[in-house]
């Protein structure tokens, strides 16, 4: 790494063993990930300085062998900062607006899905079960409406299998074996290791999506899109004479896969943590239910309009997002030019790890950050207050494209759930609260009893 002066990590690694807490207290330090130059940004100030003040320079993604192998740096989420990303992001944002949150009727789709979701929970009649499967189905169906114009039943084992192995890949992507593959891609020829499982899953997901895309586009009428897939195919038609166009069948499959998994893995895990915390803190659960009963009532279907009148529920959801850090390191960025941050020279092509976890535990912005305390999002009058250092959806040009959709889903699913059920752990046994490590932080599997209120 090309620093003006000595880097912090150099100083530390020579004199003291590096503990996580020391590293997290440094705003910026460098890492050598087996030949891949990387920097880690810690705390709100450093992340903002790079992702907001130098937004364009920090908008690239690293050309890691894993991403190259999986998407050839195409698609949307992993694509390099350039024409491909601009075209795909613009199309996705427009489509999400047209077929998703821009439509009033879309809210009804989420409400309809929550009724399926609650009815499926009801079949357990208060007996212990793992909610993961049902939440995943319900949440992915919201994105499925936008992408394919249809939902999948909770009994559709093929679709569920696809989501399961895709989600397994999110965990595998953070495994030692895949880390080694990124540093030494030649190990890809070895017939064993977790990276092989990851490639096998990715190939299966690709084939599944390919067939699904063919099916949902069968009766397509050009320039009359019904969903994201149609809109994408229209773009391909419009650009067929442009040799530089980045719209292609392959990139369509990558984009669809990325949108499904980015939307499902995150929102599902936030809801799983939210349920876990409600059972862990019955008094907080009780306060949310009191607010639901007061503002919505016991039977009416929750609507987004009521969100503004429910500051405590909003505070709880924000605290879950802050405390649980679903995407603790965001998605890796890369620099598209040489630059300087806080006196350190950072060359073009450096991998940038945004430690969002450290932002949400940054003592400059949060008091007692290690305590789960929804009231930190309320003012003296009990009104909801925004916090600058609250960035679960990241910042800058690459900030989460699905933030608005995720916020809608979280509010509607969470309020519907607590309106109908009281949540508790079977026999009062508290499950392990340590998160499962991967590119996302998800709870360990746990059982819950959902008793009709």
Binding residues for heme: 400
315 near ligand HEM, judged by CB under 6 A: no
Under the criterion CB under 6 A, does residue 117 sit at the interface with ligand HEM?
no
- Of 226 and 422, the one with the shorter C-beta distance to ligand HEM is 226
CB of 167 to ligand HEM, least distance (A): 14
| CA pair distance 140, 160, nearest whole angstrom | 10
Q: Does residue 262 bind ligand HEM (CB under 6 A)? A: yes
Q: Where are the alpha helices (DSSP H) in 40-103?
A: 43-48, 65-71, 83-96
# residues contacting ligand HEM (CB under 6 A): 27
Q: Scanning residues 12 to 51, which ones bind ligand HEM (CB under 6 A)?
A: none
Q: Which of 327, 334, 341, 418 binds ligand HEM (CB under 6 A)?
A: 327
Q: What is the end-to-end Cα distance of the chain in Å, rounded?
A: 59
Nearest residue (CB) to ligand HEM, 258 versus 291: 258
Please choose, out of 294-302, 326-334, 341-349, 368-376, the segment that lies near ligand HEM by the rule CB under 6 A.
326-334
Q: Which of 138, 207, 141, 132 is nearest to 168 (CA)?
A: 132
444 with 431: CB under 8 angstroms? yes
Instruction: Tell which residue, 136, 96, 110, has the closest CA to residue 302.
Output: 110
Tell me the C-alpha to C-alpha distance, in Å, between residue 331 and each of 205, 328, 334, 410.
Answer: 21, 9, 10, 21
Tell me the two tokens of residue 404.
């608005």
Query: Which x/- pattern over 61-90 shows residues binding ligand HEM (rule: CB under 6 A)?
Result: ---------------xx-----------x-
Q: CA dist 388 to 237, 353, 377, 391, Å?
A: 43, 20, 11, 8
Q: Decide if residue 438 touches ligand HEM (CB under 6 A).
A: no
- State yes or no: residue 140 binds ligand HEM (CB under 6 A): no
CA distances from 329 to 168, 174, 196, 300, 366 (A): 18, 11, 24, 39, 19
Which one of 158-166, 262-270, 300-308, 423-431 is the stretch in contact with ligand HEM (CB under 6 A)? 262-270
In angstroms, give the least distance from the CB of 277 to ligand HEM: 15
Name the minimum Å distance from CB 395 to ligand HEM. 7
- As given in the structure block, the two tokens for residue 396 are 């800058």
Q: Which of 37, 136, 201, 267 binds ligand HEM (CB under 6 A)?
A: 267
Task: Sketch the per residue contact string, 374 through 403, with ligand HEM: x for CB under 6 A, - otherwise.
Answer: ------------------xxx---xxxxx-
270 scored as a contact of ligand HEM (CB under 6 A): yes
Residues 405-434 that bind ligand HEM (CB under 6 A): 405-406
Question: Residue 322 or residue 420: which is nearer to ligand HEM going by CB?
Answer: 322
Cα–Cα–Cα angle for 374, 367, 331, rounded to 5 degrees: 75
143 near ligand HEM (CB under 6 A): yes
Q: Which class for 96: exposed (0-12), middle (13-18), buried (19 or more C-beta within 10 A)?
A: buried
Cβ–Cβ under 8 Å, residues 357 and 42: no
Rounded to whole angstroms, how far apart are CA atoms 240 and 2? 43
**Shortest Å, Cβ 191 to ligand HEM:** 33
Binding interface with ligand HEM (CB under 6 A) = 76-77, 89, 143, 258-259, 262-263, 266-267, 270, 326-327, 330-331, 333, 354, 392-394, 398-402, 405-406
């Amino acid at each position: 790494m090309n620093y003006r002066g000595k880097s912090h990590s150099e100083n530390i690694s020579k004199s003291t063993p590096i503990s996580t807490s020391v590293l997290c207290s440094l705003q910026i330090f460098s890492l050598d990930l087996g030949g891949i130059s990387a920097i880690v940004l810690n705390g709100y100030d450093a992340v903002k300085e790079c992702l907001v003040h130098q937004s364009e320079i920090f908008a690239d993604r690293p050309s890691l062998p894993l991403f190259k192998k999986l998407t050839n740096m195409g698609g949307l989420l992993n694509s390099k900062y350039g024409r491909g990303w601009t075209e795909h992001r613009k199309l996705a944002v427009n489509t999400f607006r047209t077929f998703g949150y821009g439509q009033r009727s879309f809210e009804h789709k989420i409400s309809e899905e929550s009724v399926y979701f609650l009815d499926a929970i009801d079949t357990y009649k208060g007996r212990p079960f793992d909610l993961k499967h049902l939440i995943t189905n319900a949440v992915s169906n919201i994105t499925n409406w936008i992408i394919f114009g249809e939902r999948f039943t909770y009994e559709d084992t093929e679709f569920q299998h696809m989501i399961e192995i895709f989600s397994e890949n999110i965990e595998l992507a953070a495994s030692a074996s895949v880390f080694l593959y990124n540093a030494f891609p030649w190990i890809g020829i070895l017939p064993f290791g977790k990276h092989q499982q990851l490639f096998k899953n990715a190939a299966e997901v690709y084939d599944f999506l390919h067939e699904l895309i063919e099916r949902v586009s069968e009766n397509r009428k050009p320039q009359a899109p019904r969903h994201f897939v149609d809109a994408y195919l229209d773009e391909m038609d419009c650009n067929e004479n442009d040799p530089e166009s980045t719209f292609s069948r392959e990139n369509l499959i990558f984009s669809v896969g990325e949108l499904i998994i980015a939307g499902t893995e995150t929102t599902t895990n936030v809801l799983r943590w939210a349920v876990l915390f409600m059972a862990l803190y019955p008094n907080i659960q009780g306060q949310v239910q009191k607010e639901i009963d007061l503002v919505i009532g016991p039977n009416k279907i929750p609507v987004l309009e009521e969100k503004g009148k429910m500051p405590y529920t909003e505070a709880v959801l924000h605290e879950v997002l802050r405390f649980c850090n679903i995407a603790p390191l965001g998605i890796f960025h890369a620099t598209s030019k040489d630059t300087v941050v806080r006196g350190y020279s950072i060359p073009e092509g450096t991998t940038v790890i945004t430690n969002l976890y450290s932002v949400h535990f940054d003592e400059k912005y949060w008091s007692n950050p290690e305590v789960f305390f929804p009231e930190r999002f309320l003012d003296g009058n009990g009104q909801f207050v925004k916090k600058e250092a609250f960035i679960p959806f990241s910042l800058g040009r690459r900030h989460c494209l699905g933030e608005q959709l995720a916020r809608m889903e979280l509010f509607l699913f969470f309020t519907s759930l607590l309106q109908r059920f009281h949540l508790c752990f079977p026999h009062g046994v508290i499950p392990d609260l340590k998160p499962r490590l991967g590119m996302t932080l998800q709870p360990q599997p746990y059982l819950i009893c959902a008793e009709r209120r």
